């Protein structure tokens, strides 16, 4: 076998092997939710009420009972009812007007907030951030509304 033919075969083999690794690495990035948690949840929210800012940290979350929450991968997540979190820390009947995450401010419809068939939840992500979504009273999650939630606004 000639030198050029051997080199050609070696290049083809390397290209095939290289492509296979690239596909595997790309698949790992797309399915990172299957990996273990990278960081503990950062339980901190900037709270705005009547123009005044305050911060709710771990003690504010500890005053609120956790709900059962499970990610699509089946992994348990720390999950809180945002209604209960607001009531425990801002008073009974407190209503959250909006949540702020990486994609900006997401208003919360007053009718949805009052609907007993919907539970507004905050849950910890694998990366340690907070995510907002609606859930059923039984705990079935709907699609995410806001990712990397850092702030909420409460009605005065």
% of the chain with per-residue pLDDT over 70: 71
Residues 10 and 60 grouped into a single domain: no
Q: Is the pLDDT of residue 148 over 80?
A: yes
Residues 79 and 140 grouped into a single domain: yes
* CA 143 and chain centroid, separation: 10
pLDDT (tens digit, 9 = 90+) per residue, 16-62? 555 554 444 444 444 345 555 566 667 999 999 999 999 999 999 99
Residues 52 and 7 grouped into a single domain: no
In a domain, 53, yes or no: yes
The whole-number average pLDDT for the span 109-125 is 95
Range of the domain at 102: 45-154
In a domain, 37, yes or no: no
In a domain, 145, yes or no: yes
pLDDT (tens digit, 9 = 90+) per residue, 73-94? 667 788 999 999 999 999 999 9
pLDDT band of residue 2 (cuts 50, 70, 90) is low
Residues 75 and 24 grouped into a single domain: no
Residues 119 and 80 grouped into a single domain: yes
């Amino acid at each position: 076998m000639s030198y050029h033919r051997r080199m050609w075969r070696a290049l083809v083999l390397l290209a095939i092997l290289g492509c296979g690794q690239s596909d595997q690495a790309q698949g790992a990035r797309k399915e990172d939710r299957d990996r273990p948690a990278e960081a503990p949840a950062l339980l901190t929210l900037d709270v705005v009420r009547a123009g005044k800012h305050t911060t709710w940290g771990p003690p504010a979350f500890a005053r609120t009972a956790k709900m059962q929450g499970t990610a699509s991968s089946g992994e348990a997540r720390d999950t809180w009812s945002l209604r209960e979190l607001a009531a425990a820390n801002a008073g009974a009947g407190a209503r959250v007007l909006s949540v702020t995450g990486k994609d900006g401010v997401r208003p919360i419809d007053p009718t949805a907030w009052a609907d007993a068939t919907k539970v507004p939840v905050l849950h910890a992500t694998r990366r340690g951030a907070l995510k907002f979504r609606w859930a059923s009273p039984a705990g079935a999650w709907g699609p995410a509304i806001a990712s990397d939630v850092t702030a909420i606004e409460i009605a005065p």
